[in-house]
Amino acid sequence: MANITITDGSNAAGGETGTVEVIEPDLVPNDYPVAAKTEITLHAGEDRLDPTSVTLDKTQINTLLNELSTEVTSNGESLTFTYVNGVLTGQLPNGEVALTITLTAIQDGQDVKVTVEVEQSRPLDHNPSGNSEGMVSVSDGNISIDLPIQATDTDGDPLGNAANVTVDIKDGVQPSFGDDTGIEINEETDEGKILTGHISVDVGSDEVASIHFNDNQPHLDGITSNGQPVTVSTHENVLTLVDSQGNTVLEVTINSDGSYSAKITGSLDQDINNIVDLPLDITVTDKDGDSAQGTIEITITDGSDAAGGEDVAITITEGDLDTNGAAMGNPTTYPVSQSGSFVIAAGEDRLVPSS
């Protein structure tokens, strides 16, 4: 009797690679969800590869899920990632799905063709200081996720090395400013009133975190109130001008949607045209930390001038040229003098005494 021994041939080597890229869309108008996909072919060894066996590598899946849940966030909120039946899902705390990655496979002769499809439904945070090591990296406006893919042949033998598909989720359009309506304020008729304006904001691919006034306001250099320099103070979304007496002259507040308001409670010195323009520098920052610069315009027009027309009556009695006929000493009562005073009422601005 002859013994015949059949040994298994070579296993599939594995190690195939692929890349799929998603670029985040605009939030306004809302172009989410966005999807992209790629295909790779896993090449068989001696035995046919089984498409139903295609999955994320079981020896690496826990590491991948842990890195995703630790490093990937949406608008500052953490995501919980799970992998079930070929579907990798990232969910917000409220259950909303932010990211789905789906693996499907079909037979292609002895080989297997694998499709990796990515669907993003919410903005993801591209933190500039994120981790750039491991299976998940967040840096330079890109979230990169390495998916280790494994399969077995009909003998149950796995790929010699897991295949890898890299998912790149790139940050989209950064925020920017558009047209500004400006605000025009009359020192007199608008004093104490809250006036409003609006600068349009293109939020780009991520939600706006804040709009604030820049600490440095070079356009306000040289602005005075009643001839004295004003102090400019900024605190996040509020800018204040204070006169030399410590009184607030102007307060401007801006909101994250680009709306802003201004209230004048004192006077500012205008130019020869009775106008002072106040360009105020602002910065918009999104949840990714991306930012852009802009300017809103506040125009202050002069209030009423001093009316004038005040008068004062001064009565003076002439002196004598000869006092009792004295020929010696002081024969006259000249010079004679009298004084009086009056007040010139100011208009909106302080009058200058030396003028």
Each residue's pLDDT tens digit, 55-111: 999 999 999 999 999 999 998 899 999 999 999 999 999 999 999 999 999 999 999
Statement: 176-301 belongs to CATH 2.60.40: yes
Domain with CATH 2.60.40 in the chain: 17-170, 176-301
What integer pLDDT is reported at residue 307 of this predicted model? Answer: 47
Tell me the pLDDT band of 27, cut-offs 50, 70 and 90: confident
| Section 199-208 average pLDDT | 91
* 20 pLDDT above the threshold of 60: yes
Q: Is the pTM of this model over 0.75?
A: no
CATH code matching the domain that covers 17-170, chosen among 1.10.4160, 3.40.50, 2.60.40, 2.30.30: 2.60.40
State how beta strands 259-264 and 163-170 pair.
Answer: unpaired
pLDDT, tens digit, 9 for 90 and up, residues 127-144: 766 677 799 998 878 999
